Amino acid sequence: MSDRFDLVVVGGGIVGLASARAIHRRDPRLSVAVLEKEPAVGLHQTGHNSGVVHSGVYYRPGSLKARLCHDGRAALLDFAAAEGVPSRTVGKLIVAARPAELGVLDELHRRARANEVDGVARLGAAELLGRLPGVAGLGALHVPSAAIIDFGAVARRLAERLAADGVAVLVGRALRSARPTAAGWRLETGSGEVVAGYVVNCAGLHSDLVARLMGTDPPVSIVPFRGDFYRLSDRLRDRIPTLVYPVPDPRLPFLGVHLTPTISGGLLAGPNATLAFTREGYRRGQWDPAEVARQLAFPGTIGLARRYGRFAAGEWFKSWSPAEYLAAIRSVWPSATAGDLGPRTSGVRAQAVRRDGRLEDDFVFVRSDRALHVLNAPSPAATAAFAIAEEVADAAGVGGGAR
Ligand SMILES: Cc1cc2nc3c(=O)[nH]c(=O)nc-3n(C[C@H](O)[C@H](O)[C@H](O)COP(=O)(O)OP(=O)(O)OC[C@H]3O[C@@H](n4cnc5c(N)ncnc54)[C@H](O)[C@@H]3O)c2cc1C
């Protein structure tokens, strides 16, 4: 006997779960399932991130990231408030450490206004120090609306709600192969077949592989970038109640090592962004020969090395040398010492790379016959998930109903 559904979402991260919710809310008559390979939802990117509810300062006006971050943030915070998932508005300082970064700060201020981010203010060095004694910088942007949350808790709550509403959340079911049929798909999961009329691929770090096994040649390839975090001392935690970010390199989709109060009451520094040689490689030095072979065969790898080789080397050093990491922290918090660095954790980003080696800067959706593939949903996709979900429902042709 096969399980049969009108629509199956592959991937029980925040994007897949929010998409299943949007589809079910628009048309409750559809039978919907989420297939998740792990024994629980939200165990990969959704459960290994900075936990920052972004306001939308960084993104190019007009981009999907700009629009969906703006809309998704509001929907996420509404869901969290309604469902009792704690979030806290702590604000953010984006701090320029070098004169060359002041121009980037001005551009971010312009983007913040274009993206309708409320209350963003440009601070001089003295105002910055007045706002947060101990921070160092030539100037800053203050983003009062930035918040923190546990995205893993949001995913778990979403899964509970979906199950209560009759959406099947099938954990421990990995999509292994897919066969198109006249009416949709036969999906082999390793523990039984699932029949689907339509498939939405939200497989995160595996999204390009899932697209391929469904017969779609994706325009991008996922390259895993590990980010290491250090838990910081209570001494620093008690002095840093707000998010402190460096000015990002505008050529990269990464935001740099930042200081992040967590909703559970800690303080993290991180993440850096170092190439990982396995898709779910949370530990340094892990590698998977099949993944390395795939990366070597991918035409974009040479372009990637050429464009970003220097950056990659610097991030690799940061990953192995606590002193290098500390230097990044000290660029915004000069009094941090090696003694402030506590235990390390990490997350792995699913970053899409184009065939010419460029890192894809925006969210990417690709439609194929009876399927939709979400092929680039890195940061701020956790913040934007509820708005990405509406795009997914539109693209899947599920109309009407409640939003
Ligand atoms: C270090 C780091 C810091 C970040 N910081 C932030 C932040 O502060 N704010 C923010 O908004 N975003 C942040 N992000 C980005 C954010 O975490 C992701 O954009 C978001 O979680 C993506 O969600 P997802 O559902 O697409 O992916 P995931 O959470 O990775 O979910 C994909 C799911 O698909 C499942 N899957 C894969 N293959 C299969 C298969 N074959 N069959 C069945 N299931 C499968 C996986 O097991 C996984 O559960 C950060 C990410 C990282 C790594």
Q: Other CB atoms closer than 10 Å to residue 164's CB: what's the count?
A: 8
Closest ligand 1 atom number to CA of residue 15: 25
Closest ligand 1 atom number to CA of residue 229: 1
Name which of 45, 54, 67 is nearest 363 in CA terms. Answer: 67
Q: pLDDT tens across 29-70, in order?
A: 999 999 999 999 999 999 999 999 999 999 999 999 999 999
CA 210–ligand 1 middle distance (angstroms)? 15
pTM of the model as a whole: 0.97
Instruction: Return the residue whose CA atom lies nearest to atom 21 of ligand 1.
Output: 46
Counting ligand 1 atoms within 8 A of each CB, the residue from 150, 226, 228, 379 with the most, and so the one to mutate, is 379
Q: pLDDT tens across 186-219, in order?
A: 999 988 999 999 999 999 999 999 999 999 999 9
Provide the pLDDT for residue 112.
98
What residues of the chain score a pLDDT lower than 70? 1, 400-403
H helix intervals, 147-189: 151-164
Provide the pLDDT for residue 193.
96
CA 19–ligand 1 middle distance (angstroms)? 13
Provide the pLDDT for residue 62.
98
Closest ligand 1 atom number to CA of residue 203: 34
Provide the pLDDT for residue 1.
54
CA–CA distance, 70 with 77 (Å, rounded to integer): 11
Provide the pLDDT for residue 312.
87
Closest ligand 1 atom number to CA of residue 378: 19
CA 133–ligand 1 middle distance (angstroms)? 35
Ligand 1 pocket at CB < 6 A: 10-16, 35-38, 43-46, 48-52, 54, 174-175, 202-206, 210, 227, 271, 347-349, 377-383
Contact 100, 106 (CB under 8 A): no
User: How far from 245 is each of 56, 252, 296, CA to CA, in Å?
Assistant: 14, 15, 34
The fold for domain 1-88+147-219+355-403 equals FAD/NAD(P)-binding domain (3.50.50)
> What phi, psi does 230 have (nearest 5°)?
-110, 135
Instruction: Give exposure, 277-311, as e/b (b: 16+ Cβ within 10 Å).
Output: bbbbbeeeeeeeeebeebbeebebbebbeebbeee
CA 14–ligand 1 middle distance (angstroms)? 7
Counting ligand 1 atoms within 8 A of each CB, the residue from 9, 37, 45 with the most, and so the one to mutate, is 45
